[in-house]
Amino acid sequence: MTQTPTATSSAPPPKPAVEPEPGLPDAIAAALPPDPYEQLEVARKITAVAVAARASRLELEAARLRQRLAERDRLAAEFADRAAKLEQALRDADARLRAALDDNAKLVKERDSLAHTSKKLARDLAKLETFKRHLMQSLGDDNNPVQETVDIRTCEQSVAKANSWKGRTSRVDGKEFFRQARSRLSYEQFAAFLANIKELNSHRQSREETLRKADEIFGAENKDLFMSFQGLLTRSLS
Residues 6 or more apart whose Cβ sits within 8 Å of residue 100: none
pLDDT score for 134: 64
- Residue 83 — very low, low, confident or very high, per pLDDT cuts 50/70/90? very high
Rounded to an integer, what is the distance from CA 47 to the centroid of its chain? 76
Residue 52 inside a domain? The answer is: yes
Q: For 19-28, 140-149, 190-199, 208-217, which range has the lowest pLDDT when averaged over its residues? A: 140-149
pLDDT per residue over 57-73, tens digit each?
A: 999 999 999 999 999 99
- Within this chain, do residues 172 and 112 fall inside the same structural domain, yes or no? no
Of 126, 150, 184, the last residue of a domain is: 126
The answer, yes or no, to whether residue 143 has pLDDT greater than 50, is no
User: Count of domains in the chain?
Assistant: 2
- Within this chain, do residues 51 and 77 fall inside the same structural domain, yes or no? yes
224 CB neighbour count, 10 Å cutoff: 19
- Residue 38 — very low, low, confident or very high, per pLDDT cuts 50/70/90? confident
Residue 9 inside a domain? The answer is: no
Domain of 190, CATH number, reads 1.20.1160
Separation between Cα atoms, residue 228 and residue 150, nearest integer Å: 9
pTM: 0.32
Residue 3 inside a domain? The answer is: no
User: Which residues constitute the domain of residue 66?
Assistant: 35-126
Residue 41 inside a domain? The answer is: yes
- Residue 120 — very low, low, confident or very high, per pLDDT cuts 50/70/90? confident
- Within this chain, do residues 233 and 150 fall inside the same structural domain, yes or no? yes
pLDDT score for 14: 56
- Within this chain, do residues 223 and 154 fall inside the same structural domain, yes or no? yes
Among 218, 213, 222, 211, residue whose Cα is nearest residue 190: 218
* CA angle (188, 189, 190) in 5-degree steps: 95
